[in-house]
Amino acid sequence: METRTEYDSMGPVEVDAARIYGPQTQRSFNNFKIGTHCMPLEQIKALALVKKACAKTNAICGAISEEKAKLIAQVVDEILAGKWDEEFPLCVFQTGSGTQTNMNVNEVIAHRAKQINESIPLHPNDDVNRGQSTNDTFPTAMHIASYFEIEKRVLPALDRLIASFEKLQEKGKGLQKVGRTHLQDATFIMVDQEISAFVAGLKTARKIIVEATDYLLDVPLGGTAVGTGVNTPNGYLAAMDAILPEVTGAPFRVENNKFQGMSLKDAIMTAHAALNTLATTLFKIANDVRFLGSGPRCGYGEWTLPANEPGSSIMPGKVNPTQCEALTMVCAQVFGINTTMTVCAGSGAFQLNVYMPIMIYDFIESTRLLSDAMNSFAEKCIDGVEFIPKKLKFFVEQSLQIATALTPYIGYDKAAKVVKDAYKRDTSIKSIILEEKLMSEEEFDQAVKMK
């Protein structure tokens, strides 16, 4: 590998000559060869947006020239377009503040700016990082990345799945079935009523996510090292209050408690907790769907799930509920991530949380997995579900809990005895009722009519 010699405050560093990052990036690349977890590009691009907003704000405040601010903005636009993705190779498992990634972005911007216009030299610290610290820029980028992941990935995928279940709910109207509690037969329910729980649960999860996402709009930008705003120019926050929403296209807020934003991670934890709630709801729904589609002959078999691929290497003709299984595995992963997030959010010391890289990596993994899994579940499973009226009717006719509707007429004790007799004799509730002349056929039919 051909190298070039660059210098930072610790001395010379041999940097890959093909790269436009600098010595601090190279040091981190050399020192943290841990796993394959790279800093997500979503976080990189969010951090680049922060640099653009800071450059514009610093120019307004007279801290850097207008020409430098425009040059920084030009390079940021290239980063956002994906032109320099390979220049951000750093491992997530680095310093807990994300300093090396912040400097990675600073160095790429400074070096690329030199390629564009050598007459306007940019220093990665003095210009690109002017009035900033990793301690306020990195968590700000975390909020920006998380906010857009939810807005652009999670909510559209969730809306798609809700729409699929709403169509399925409509298809289930008029179909009666046996309800089940404790995995035992219960009173009757309509198919569309059962599915209405899924629709309402997903809509509730959506509402919780939207409410939690609002906390991400408060960012600690301007707090610099420990929250006091040291080294920011006069008028910085007032200018940034307008600039950051303009640059990001979202209503981020900088007028807030910087000490909270840097030392605590309650906002991103709240947002991920909302994702965890969604995962919990999805887990329950996927389990119900695969039980309802179990069979085809010896299970519940009330639903037919799409046959997408062969299910066994040894059992011919077997088809499995693979989309349900994939979704529940995703949910299990999100549950684990939520535990990691909880440990990390509660482990910051004094003025700074030092678990931020893994928190944003895991947050973005949750949003990617949930979004992809919901889209797949909707398209490859729910959209293709068919009901089996014959099986639904069979269970209704065989159910012993039809006796529940008879208790207002014959009392609980007699109804319980009828259930036991019917089960013991392997006959229907109706036949016992008529045999013992507890009700007329007309009275029975009226009593068990679905309400």
DSSP string, 150-215: IIIIIHHHHHHHHHHHHHHHHHTTT-EEEEEETTEEEEEEEHHHHHHHHHHHHHHHHHHHHHHHGG
pLDDT (0 to 100) of residue 446 = 87
**Would you say 256 is a known binding-site residue?**
no
The reply to whether 135 sits in an annotated binding site is yes
Q: Which of 80, 97, 130 is the last residue of a domain?
A: 130
If asked whether residues 54 and 165 sit together in one domain, one would say no
User: Does the annotation list 320 as a binding residue?
Assistant: yes
What is d(CA 341, CA 196) in angstroms, rounded to the nearest whole number? 32
What pLDDT, on a 0 to 100 scale, did the predictor assign at position 451?
52
Question: Is residue 123 a part of any domain in this protein?
Answer: yes
CA distances from residue 297 to 214, 390, 391 in whole angstroms, order as listed: 49, 12, 10
Residues 315 and 441 in one domain: no
Structural domain includes residue 239: no
Using CA atoms, how far apart are residues 159 and 416, in angstroms rounded to an integer? Answer: 45
Q: Answer for the pair 106, 70: CB distance below 8 angstroms, yes or no.
A: no
- Residue 342 assigned to a binding site: no
Catalytic hit among 65, 312, 431, 440: 312
Residue 255: both structure tokens together? 């007028």
| pLDDT confidence of residue 450 | 59
Residue 31 known to bind ligand: no
CB atoms within 10 A of CB 230: 11
| Region class of 15: left (phi > 0), else alpha (psi between -120 and 50), else beta | beta
pTM: 0.95
Q: Which of 79, 106, 130 is the last residue of a domain?
A: 130
User: 91 near 193, Cβ under 8 Å?
Assistant: no
Backbone angles phi, psi at 41, to 5 degrees: -65, -25
Domain match, 53 and 107 both: yes
Residue 234 in any domain: the answer is: no
Q: Are the CB atoms for 414 and 197 separated by under 8 Å?
A: no
pLDDT at residue number 128: 98
Task: Give pLDDT < 70 ranges for the chain.
Answer: 450-451
Q: Residues 312, 417: one domain? A: no
Same structural domain for residues 152 and 297? yes
- Residues 400 and 405: their CA atoms lie apart, in Å, by 11
**Do 107 and 159 fall within a single domain?**
no
Task: Residue 306: give its domain's CATH number.
Answer: 1.20.200.10
State yes or no: 123 annotated in a binding site.
yes
d(CA 330, CA 369): 6
Tokens 């088809």 -> residue: 319
For residue 410, what is the domain's CATH number? 1.10.40.30
* Known active-site residue 146: no
Three-state DSSP state, 310? coil
Question: Do 35 and 173 reside in the same domain of the chain?
Answer: no
Give the list of residues 6+ apart from residue 80 with CB closer than 8 angstroms, or none: 45, 48, 49
Can you give the C-alpha Rg of the chain in angstroms? Answer: 30
**336 assigned ligand-binding residue:** no
Domain termination residue (choose one: 130, 160, 192): 130
Asked whether residue 252 is domain-assigned, the answer is no
pLDDT at residue 376 in the model: 98
* Phi-psi group of 357: left, alpha or beta (phi > 0 → left; psi -120 to 50 → alpha; rest → beta): alpha
Q: Is residue 112 part of a domain?
A: yes
Spatial CA neighbour of 366 closest among 334, 341, 343, 335: 334
Residue 296: is the preceding peptide bond cis (ω within 30°)? yes
User: Cα–Cα distances in Å, from 444 out to 190, 418, 419, 440, 449?
Assistant: 20, 13, 15, 6, 9
Whether residue 339 is found in the same domain as residue 195: yes
What CATH code is carried by the domain that includes residue 107? 1.10.275.10
For residue 313, say whether it is annotated as part of any ligand binding site. yes
CA distance 26 to 20: 10
Regarding whether 412 and 371 lie in a shared domain, the answer is no
User: Is 319 known as a binding-site position?
Assistant: yes
232 is in an annotated binding site: no
- State the residue range of the domain holding 422: 399-448
Q: Are residues 183 and 285 in the same domain?
A: yes
pLDDT of 271 reads 98
Let me know if residue 73 belongs to a domain: yes
Residue 429: Cβ-neighbour burial (10 angstroms; 0-12, 13-18, 19+): buried
Q: In this structure, is residue 196 part of a structural domain?
A: yes
Are residues 274 and 208 in contact, defined by beta-carbon separation less than 8 angstroms?
A: yes
Active site residue 263: no
Distance CA 82, CA 212 (A): 29
Amino acid at 107: E
**d(Cα 204, Cα 280) in Å, to the nearest integer?**
12
Cα separations in angstroms, 115 against 109, 112, 119, 121, 399: 10, 5, 10, 10, 78
Cα 136 from Cα 222, distance rounded (Å):
7
Pair 291, 364 in one domain: yes
- Does a structural domain hold residue 44? yes
Give first-to-last CA distance, the chain, whole Å: 77
222 with 236: CB under 8 angstroms? Answer: yes
The one catalytic residue in 28, 65, 164, 182 is 182
Q: Are residues 88 and 56 in the same domain?
A: yes
Q: Per the structure, how many domains does the chain have? A: 3
